[in-house]
Amino acid sequence: MVYPLIGKQTFSSALMNAIDFKRNTNATLLGEATSGTVNHYGEVRGFRLPHTKIVIGYSTRYWENWKGHNGPLMPDVAITYSVKNFGQGVDEALVYAEKAR
């Protein structure tokens, strides 16, 4: 069994990879909801404003990765993380995956 980990830092291309795992394999997604939505804008380009030198970014493409799906990608198994375990170097998702194999 494969256990891809997803969470708040899963967005853009990583989100697209997680969607592929979910749709095309028997993988079990572990973790938290993604911060990126399943269908999203991407391929960011930018330009610099001539006087302020501020860089403006804009998306050039809409990615419809899963037709009809709204919002973030949700895990198959929700993992609750704790500060205590984080401080001790324990990753609850990895512990779950190890016990499940």
pLDDT digits (tens, 9 = 90+) for 35-83: 989 999 999 999 999 999 999 999 999 999 999 999 999 999 999 999 9
pLDDT above 90 (res 20): yes
Which of 39, 41, 57 is CA-nearest to residue 49? 57
Taking the complete model, does pTM exceed 0.85, yes or no? no
pLDDT at residue 101 in the model:
82
Place of tokens 């256990």: 3
**Vertex 85: Cα angle to 73 and 32 (nearest 5):** 5
